[in-house]
């Protein structure tokens, strides 16, 4: 029979990150959220704990763990602060993972150690003003001239792209075209590493977001940007396919983060329901509240099983695309539903930003959008069913 109990190593990691989240992250979450400030001091401590290096081998400065270990860390951080959790998720699965999966040995030696240590961050430049779910609509162009790539284009919603420790953003760009048999144009999309500070590469003003206020997110502009030919990541023309595989893995990570959020909402609602009194009883005495929280716990439990299953399939080398889509959809919806219900349990206090459930209510919506919308997950699941 399947065993969903964590082994001692995984459990110790989960407990360690939970303690860090409760005692280091949570006390400063409201401050960074209100100030829209990046939590550099928290990120530095996460780096010291080795969280950015969890899925990477020791030879590249990592901890020698795996993707499930990263997911467990994200779940615990997501309980208390989604901005911090997404900084780790994007830093590892979107920033460093393309280098680890598809980079040359020289690229790994140059970039991975500092990324795995958390002393530097990297971004994942896929989304554009007219290319979101349809990433094949990429309009950014790169041409090879005299041993250099010359890049022009725009990217948007790029996480970790503008911090003081951001070293580069890996960009998708059209590097050529061909004509299909039916006469339509096929784009050759490649991925190219662009260091921050390269002339012509501008990190624009940060977005004023609804949530994830302590996460760094910017639009990017590239005008006549020159980088060496060897900054190509992976095989020319395989950039789109490579990034799709990165997104499949990333959906497990986002599902773990969302599961943590769903569980954090349960934990806060249980605590408040035991403390708050009305009509002579604590409010948890009334079925209108207790049943609501019971449904919240059911959603969190289901989301956890879904991402555990997807991660297990991935680590076993089995196909996991559909299971990752299921996990991402189930967990993101659980986070959004639980944030709404927890806010209702808190009543007026749930509408005050200093309370975690209020931040979760604002933060959780993006979980149903980023790294593949709910509609994209449904499309992938339906396609797997032959529809």
Is 371 among the residues known to form the active site? yes
| Catalytic residue chosen out of the listed positions 35, 58, 371, 375 | 371
Cα angle: 136, vertex 253, 191; to 5 degrees: 35
Under 8 Å between Cβ of 89 and 73 = no
Distance set, CA 263 to CA 76, 84, 128, 197, 324 (Å): 9, 16, 33, 40, 19
Question: Which two structure tokens, joined as six digits, stand for 50?
Answer: 């080795």
Under 8 Å between Cβ of 183 and 233 = no
Closest by CA position to 360, among listed 372, 351, 371, 373: 351
| CA–CA dist 214, 87 (Å, integer) | 9
Specify which residues 225 forms β-bridges with.
151
**Residue tagged 């082994």 (tokens):** 7
Closest by CA position to 75, among listed 304, 277, 330: 304
Question: Which two structure tokens, joined as six digits, stand for 220?
Answer: 């990017």
**Which residues are annotated as catalytic?**
371
């Amino acid at each position: 029979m399947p065993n969903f109990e964590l082994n001692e190593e995984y459990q110790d990691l989960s407990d360690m990150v939970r303690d860090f989240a409760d005692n280091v992250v949570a006390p400063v979450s409201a401050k960074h959220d209100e100030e829209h400030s990046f939590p550099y001091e928290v990120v530095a401590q996460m780096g010291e704990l080795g969280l950015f290096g969890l899925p990477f081998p020791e030879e590249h400065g990592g901890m020698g763990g795996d993707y499930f270990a990263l997911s467990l860390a994200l779940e615990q951080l997501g309980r208390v602060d989604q901005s911090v959790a997404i900084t780790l998720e994007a830093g590892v699965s979107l920033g460093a993972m393309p280098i680890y999966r598809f980079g040359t040995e020289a690229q790994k030696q140059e970039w991975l150690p500092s990324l795995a240590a958390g002393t530097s961050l990297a971004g994942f430049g896929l989304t554009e003003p007219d290319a979101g779910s349809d990433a094949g609509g990429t309009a950014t162009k790169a041409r090879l001239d005299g041993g250099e790539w010359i890049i022009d284009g725009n990217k948007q919603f790029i996480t970790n792209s503008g911090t003081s420790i951001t070293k580069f953003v890996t960009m998708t760009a059209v590097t050529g075209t061909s004509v299909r048999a039916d006469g339509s144009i096929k784009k050759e999309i490649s991925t190219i590493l662009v260091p921050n500070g390269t002339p012509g590469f501008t990190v624009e003003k940060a977005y004023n977001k609804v949530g994830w206020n302590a996460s760094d997110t910017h639009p990017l502009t590239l005008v006549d940007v020159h980088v060496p030919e060897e900054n190509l990541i992976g095989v020319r023309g395989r950039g789109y396919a490579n990034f799709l595989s990165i997104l499949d893995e990333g959906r497990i990570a986002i599902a773990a983060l969302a599961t943590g959020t769903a569980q954090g909402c349960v934990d806060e609602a249980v605590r408040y329901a035991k403390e708050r009194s009305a009509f002579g009883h604590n409010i948890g005495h009334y079925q209108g509240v207790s049943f609501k929280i019971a449904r919240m716990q059911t959603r969190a439990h289901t989301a956890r099983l879904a991402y555990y299953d997807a991660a297990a399939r991935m680590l076993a080398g089995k196909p996991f695309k559909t299971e990752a889509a299921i996990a991402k959809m189930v967990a993101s919806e659980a986070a959004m539903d639980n944030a709404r219900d927890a806010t209702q349990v808190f009543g007026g206090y749930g509408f005050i930003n200093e309370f975690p459930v209020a931040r979760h209510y604002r933060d959780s919506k993006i979980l149903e959008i980023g790294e593949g919308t709910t509609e994209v997950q449904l499309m992938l699941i339906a396609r797997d069913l032959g529809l």
